[in-house]
Amino acid sequence: MKVGDPFLVPPGCITKEKFIAGKTAREIERILGFHAGRLSHGMIVVTLLELPELSQFDLAGYSNRPTHKVTPALDLNLDLLRRTAKSGWATEGFDRLAKVLPTTRHDNHLELDYQYPPGLGVPQWVTKVALRGRVAGIVNGYPDGRYVPGKNT
């Protein structure tokens, strides 16, 4: 796999690339809310080539509240919030959507609170479907390997 390759992005958490671009693997763990060392075996960053439709994603708030702790507020207009979120998304440029795929996958034997501690508070959403994407970067150096869009580091 190399930068530029097409990639079917699996359902799960996404954020805007601008929150992780230029950051080290260790910083990305803290930003997104992965346990320390989760990215030690590397990661792939995939950017979306298509935006999810309103019915294809859920709101997940910010990474300082892990998704397994998010409870939907019943008194909010979720459709309006989804439309507002989507209006700030792009498939190119500063606001393009990205998914971080750790080489070390989710471990069903680890407690969720350990595996996904609170992050530093960047917006995130949860896609419900696979979407077309492209490999934007590969980071192998830990902890100081840096995600630079368009590069292998």
Residue-wise pLDDT for 109-129, tens only, equals: 989 888 899 999 999 999 999
Q: Domain-by-domain residue ranges, the chain?
A: 6-139
What is the per-residue pLDDT across 47-103, written as a single tens digit (0 to 9) for each? 999 999 999 999 988 898 888 777 766 777 888 999 999 999 999 998 999 999 999
Edge-to-edge strand list for the sheet holding 57-62: 6-9, 131-139, 43-48, 97-102, 12-16, 123-127, 57-62
pTM: 0.91
Helix (H, G, I), strand (E, B) or coil at 29: helix
CA 8: distance to chain centroid?
Answer: 14
